[in-house]
């Protein structure tokens, strides 16, 4: 029985800087098609704001497009203050037909900011009212490398299997010829 064993890949980290969050992604360096991948997402607030959502979408590049394999909400509806952190694991299974390339992650933040406008000549009794604005930002980054079989490897593997089969046939023929030769030698001696 012929089984392939794969070594455990080492974890890799990447930092993605969005307008209001620094996001560190930790993931395995490589994976085989069909295997699951866990991406650890740690986001740290750069300032104070209301987080509408932090969404991560993961894609597999194709010949002429990107195919989305998952979309996950990392967090939503949180009041964040400078230094606050979010930690969440996102799971995705690499498609069986994925090519030899890296997964691609797109991170999108949507935040609401409170802005206070203070006028220099305003009377002390006037309290500034907050003005709210919603802003968003996104960024992309490569993730885990997919160790898919290349067409060249498939061709070489087929050729190797054909050569192995021919070699076995030649070994069988040689064994038969050797047995036949030994039988003739025994008969001629007797």
Name the average pLDDT for the chain. Answer: 86
Instruction: Report pLDDT digits (tens) over 42-54.
Output: 999 999 999 999 9
Which pLDDT value is given to residue 2?
A: 44
Q: What is the pLDDT of residues 103-142, one digit of tens each?
A: 999 999 999 998 877 666 656 666 667 788 899 999 999 9
CB atoms within 10 A of CB 30: 18
- Alpha-carbon distance 22 to 174, whole Å? 68
pLDDT value at residue 148: 78
Mean pLDDT of 93-112: 93
Q: Among 83, 88, 84, 137, which residue's Cα sits nearest to residue 109?
A: 137
Q: Average of pLDDT values for 183-188?
A: 80
Helices (H) and strands (E) in the chain, counts: 1, 9
Q: How confident is the model at residue 183 (pLDDT cuts 50, 70, 90)?
A: confident
Pairwise pLDDT comparison (31 vs 187), residue with the higher score: 31
């Amino acid at each position: 029985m012929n089984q392939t064993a794969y070594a455990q890949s080492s974890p890799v980290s990447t930092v993605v800087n969005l307008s209001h969050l620094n996001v560190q992604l930790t993931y395995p360096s490589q994976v085989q098609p069909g295997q699951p991948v866990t991406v650890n997402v740690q986001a740290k607030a750069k300032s104070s704001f209301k987080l509408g959502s932090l969404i991560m979408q993961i894609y597999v590049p194709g010949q002429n497009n990107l195919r989305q394999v998952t979309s996950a909400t990392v967090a939503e509806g949180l009041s964040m203050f400078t230094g606050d952190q979010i930690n969440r694991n996102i799971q995705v299974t690499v498609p069986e037909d994925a090519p030899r390339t890296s997964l691609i992650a797109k991170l999108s933040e949507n935040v609401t900011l409170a802005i206070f406008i203070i006028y220099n000549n305003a009377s002390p009794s006037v309290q500034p009212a907050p003005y709210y604005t919603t802003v968003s930002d996104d960024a992309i980054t490569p993730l885990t490398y997919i160790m898919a079989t290349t067409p060249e490897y498939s061709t070489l593997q087929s050729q190797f299997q054909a050569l192995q089969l021919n070699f076995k046939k030649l070994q069988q023929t040689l064994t038969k010829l050797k047995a036949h030769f030994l039988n003739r030698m025994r008969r001629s001696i007797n």
